[in-house]
Structure 1
């Protein structure tokens, strides 16, 4: 998607200059699926990364609109409260003076995306344990008083209970599915009735824990030996039940035995019984899976999967009615 709206190198240089650095070299970062990114070698010395958000009419999910705006606060919280390798934010620029989109400038961490790195089985298992340990520290340390997407982009109202937050999130996702034509009105109505029918399962009693919500191989930086060097792209961060984080991890292939070993004991949420936990995890899985038909419809790519993902989701929803 980002290639359609790619900024010029001169615009990127002007943006960096406006925040006190002179770009000696600018190199596009390969592999990103949402933001447009550049490596910057500065004359002053430090290496930086510039990330540029897509335009507001690019076909976005409800929580993606303006979501870059929450990253400075999220990075600050994680850097102050944990030892996780997260880059320092140099500037968030929403003036649109140099590039007609929101942009962020941050330090460049060492390492390269795991997606572009080959590791032995032993090294991969060790890395998964380290990632699991890192997320456990995040979930145990970074808490808020309210639930939901709490960032400056304000895609929803903060909620005092997780059940209210997830109900709102679910309703808005159904609106996206219906709005782009993937769901018919009766499909969205069934989905809303399904969660209303199961709302007691969401009586999560734990704190609003900070969740990354986008852990996959492109957002994990490692060195050639597989040492964890960075966890990046926190723009989808959410405050709530860590179970929903595990739904994303499972979809992206990270919820494996080594990861669980590193994560350790589940923090606990006061769940009433295993049935409630199972119901929650099924909805969390659907929340992750059903975003993709919206993305593929509005932004292109993998159009052949839209119908199968829709039908899979509707089948699960009917089981939950």
Structure 2
């Protein structure tokens, strides 16, 4: 998801990182990380060790409703994941959301081994399948974490420290709020008319009975794709990164992202160890979850890429998917 250049002051970043690591700025080097386009990320090359610095976009950047200050939920999520799973995640050394020295949130983390799956084209087909199997296994562990156990509340939706919505008592209520807030973003970007918005909102209302998810809210990553999966040359997953879009709810919405990003292949499901629901209601939910994923690319195309042609493509795709639900 491309963002406009943020013109970060590298010298200021070096000074801040040096203070956190208790070294002199001249002992450090910042090297841009080219994968991942929402945050500005850098390798921090320090004496005898590497770290990762991630700087969130400015609040004035065109952001979806759940993206505003979403980095603020990551420290707790990393803590929960490290404590309760074997998923390889980075240790967060510093989480600074004060905006005192830098008008953006930032994280300083340990550097995980490996490279993004997108940068590992030499992997054999069996190596790729082995990675997808491991991703499935790790996501199964992630989805075993529930809001009551981890947070002490039975609540659904985006309920992290960024507070993009009010927690809801049921998944149907939470998804309805999420759906309509996203529609507001699409309207604000100029891609939907008010008539389009009414049609999409009413479409969900007509099918809301299919969203009776009766289990506890599960922790969902919501951004698992080739750039957020770190791997080594032997076909092992060395890290899952970027949990800032996490939501608590129905795992099926996670699967829609995996469908869209080409992750939900047979090896993934073998690793996940549980069959995907195939009931009539499940099929309807899957279509809405895919629509939720696709519609977000309209405001992203307009606000961040300045690409009206791309926005129109996603509008036409969204309306086609919606018409299949009539």
- Pick aligned residue for 1:50 from 40, 48, 53: 53
- Pick aligned residue for 2:244 from 235, 250, 255: 235
Q: Match for residue 12 of structure 1? A: 13
CA distance in 1, matches of 2:191, 2:224: 26
Q: Match for residue 33 of structure 1? A: 37
Alignment of 1:315 with 2:316, yes or no, is no
Residue correspondence of structure 1 range 123-272 to structure 2 within 5 A: 123-144=127-148, 145-266=154-275
Superposition deviation, residue 206 in structure 1: 1.5
Relative to structure 1, the CA distance from residue 142 to residue 46 in structure 2 (aligned partners, 3 Å threshold; closer, same or farther) is farther
CA distance in 2, matches of 1:17, 1:25: 10
Q: Match for residue 64 of structure 1? A: 67
Q: Match for residue 96 of structure 1? A: 99
Note the alpha carbon deviations across 1:34-78, whole angstroms, 9 max, x for none: 1000111223x4421100011111100000001010010111111
Q: Which moved more, 1:97-106 or 1:76-85?
A: 97-106
Superposition deviation, residue 146 in structure 1: 1.0
CA distance in 1, matches of 2:49, 2:99: 24
CA contact (8 A) 1:247 1:288 kept: yes
The secondary structure found in structure 2 opposite 1:90 is strand
CA distance in 2, matches of 1:3, 1:110: 29
Note the alpha carbon deviations across 1:237-267, whole angstroms, 9 max, x for none: 0100000000000000001011111111149
CA contact (8 A) 1:29 1:38 kept: yes
Q: Count matched residues.
A: 316
Q: Which moved more, 1:309-318 or 1:67-76?
A: 309-318
CA contact (8 A) 1:162 1:204 kept: yes
Superposition deviation, residue 301 in structure 1: 5.7
Runs (5+) with no aligned partner, structure 2: 149-153
The secondary structure found in structure 1 opposite 2:21 is coil
TM-score of the aligned structures, taking structure 1 as reference length: 0.94
CA distance in 1, matches of 2:22, 2:285: 47
CA contact (8 A) 1:81 1:142 kept: no
Relative to structure 1, the CA distance from residue 10 to residue 244 in structure 2 (aligned partners, 3 Å threshold; closer, same or farther) is same
The CA RMSD measured in Å over matched residues stands at 1.6
CA contact (8 A) 1:14 1:98 kept: no
Q: Match for residue 74 of structure 1? A: 77
The secondary structure found in structure 1 opposite 2:5 is helix
Structure 1 ranges of 4+ moved more than 4 A: none
The secondary structure found in structure 2 opposite 1:4 is coil
